[in-house]
Amino acid sequence: MAVIAENSKYKSLQTNCNFDNGDICHYQNGAGQFNWTINRGSTSSIGTGPSSDVSGTGFYLFIETSSPRQFGDNATILTPYLNGPQCMKLSYHMYGNDIGDLNIYANKQKMFSRSGNQGNRWVGVETAILERGKYMVKFEGVRGRSYQGDIAIDAISFTPGNCTFQTPKSSTTRPTTTTRRPTTPTTQAEVDECSRGIDNCDSNAQCINTPGSFSCRCNDGFTGSGVICFG
């Protein structure tokens, strides 16, 4: 559990959260037209949202984009205070014909952004936050043009320091649960990201090279997105 001990008038608060206790840990809703919602299983709308959390059995956080939500409405949620550089991991799900935006900020600086339909799957992300001093991380979901715009996040974790990429260990693996696409197209010869150790798979997962990308599979005895695996 990642925590930060602030001044004596504050208590240590949990920053890692998979929402599986059915609450938002010590996170707090921020300014916006509506709030993020805890959910288990499928969302209430057809053709959008995940059918389960990353592990397949727990809870996740999502924005419900059905009426009365309108185009451009946003929901924000903030972590407890973090201190200094952190390696942030999370999984997101952005599936539907009218997906809006998922933005992540630290000290009002945008650290990560995705827009539009990313497919009916959980996608793992690892991002270095190189801020100094004390700050909160804000997750913002923005509603697209219709109710088919549910955005979900899960398995959020912070590790002090910069991100380090590990070469995955060989092991018998589970079926692929998530695939990360390259952030920019490339016309270069195929690169084996796995052998170069530039993937972001969990240490309890195996990297599988695929044309133009790679996938992360949790080892036997572990579940999760592959970027994050739970034993």
Q: Domain extents for the chain?
A: 8-160, 194-230
Using left for φ > 0, alpha for ψ between -120 and 50, and beta otherwise, residue 13 falls in beta
Question: How many CA atoms lie within 13 Å of 214's alpha carbon, on the beta-carbon side?
Answer: 22
- In the chain, DSSP assigns E strands to 3-4, 13-14, 28-29, 37-40, 59-63, 74-78, 82-83, 86-94, 101-106, 109-115, 123-129, 134-135, 137-142, 151-160, 178-180, 205-210, 213-218, 223-224, 229-230
Please give the Cα distance from 199 to 57 (Å, whole number): 26
pLDDT of residue 208: 77
Tokens representing 128 are 């270095």
pLDDT at 211: 52
Q: What is the pLDDT of residue 199?
A: 54
Contact by Cβ (8 Å): 177, 225: yes
The predicted pLDDT at position 188 comes to 32
Confidence at residue 216, expressed as pLDDT on a 0 to 100 scale: 76
The fourth-level CATH superfamily of domain 194-230 is: Laminin (2.10.25.10)
Domains 8-160 and 194-230 share a fold: no
d(Cα 152, Cα 18) in Å, to the nearest integer?
A: 12
Q: What tokens were used for 144?
A: 């697209």
For residue 215, the model assigns a pLDDT of 72
Count CB neighbours of 24 within 10 A: 17
What is the model's pLDDT at position 202?
73
d(CA 43, CA 45): 6
Q: Which residue from 174, 184, 175 is spatially nearest to 212, judged by alpha carbons? A: 184
Would you call the peptide bond into 85 cis, given omega within 30 degrees of 0 as the criterion? no
Output the pLDDT for position 170.
35
* CATH of the domain spanning 8-160: 2.60.120.200
142's tokens: 């923005």
Residue ranges for the chain with pLDDT beneath 50: 1-12, 166-191, 196, 198, 212
Q: Is 184 exposed, middle or buried (0-12, 13-18, 19+ CB in 10 A)?
A: exposed
- Contact at 8 Å (CB) between 203 and 165? no
